[in-house]
Amino acid sequence: FREYIEVRDENILHIDSQNTFDKAYHAVAELLPALRSAGRIAVLSVNDEVALGAQAAFEEAGQADRLLIVSFGADHAASKDLLRPSSRLVGAVASFPEHYGELILSVAVDILHGKRVPPAVYTSHVWVLPDGTIEILGKTGLPYEYISASEFAELQNKLGSQRTAVNYRNGS
């Protein structure tokens, strides 16, 4: 993110959340008094549980208005939170781990058949954004594949665990 936003090293904090809601909540709640003088605070989270734990700590302290969060996973809880008007979660990246196995197996089969394979294989990632964000940024202003939170929730309900990136679009 540093190529887009200038942030001094002393303004970056790494918190050991142990990737859980509870640990993130308690770590952030403990840290909040030391952050009183900070203006806006951005949380870039390793997963949705940590993002929601951090958000809960800010909300309980009455400081959520200073917070913006981006998370990784776009699981059911985060997708639901993105639909909440007061959510401080401004986006979640869906990575579709349920498709990793089939992708790896496909490459393995190609190798076994003597086919050339690329040096790296990547999965699809999609930005899941609050519905209003897409309108604010403009549909052509988004350089990544994206979907609105309400459309994503609809697809999750329809497809269940069979999520797919095929139905998403690119704003450019």
- pLDDT, tens digit (0-9, with 9 covering 90-100), for 52-87: 999 999 999 999 999 999 999 999 899 999 999 999
- pTM, 2 dp: 0.81
Query: Is the per-residue pLDDT at 113 higher than 70?
Result: yes
The rounded percent of the chain whose pLDDT value lies above 90 is 54
17-21, 35-39, 131-135: the lowest-pLDDT one: 131-135
In this prediction, residue 168 has a pLDDT band, given cuts at 50, 70 and 90, of very low
Alpha helices in 83-125 (DSSP H): 100-112
The CA-to-CA distance between both ends of the chain, in Å, stands at 20
Average pLDDT over residues 106-122: 94
The two structure tokens encoding residue 152:
């994503």
The two structure tokens encoding residue 18:
């142990």
- Ramachandran quadrant class, 160 (left: phi over 0; alpha: psi -120 to 50; beta: rest): left
The two structure tokens encoding residue 92:
């979640």
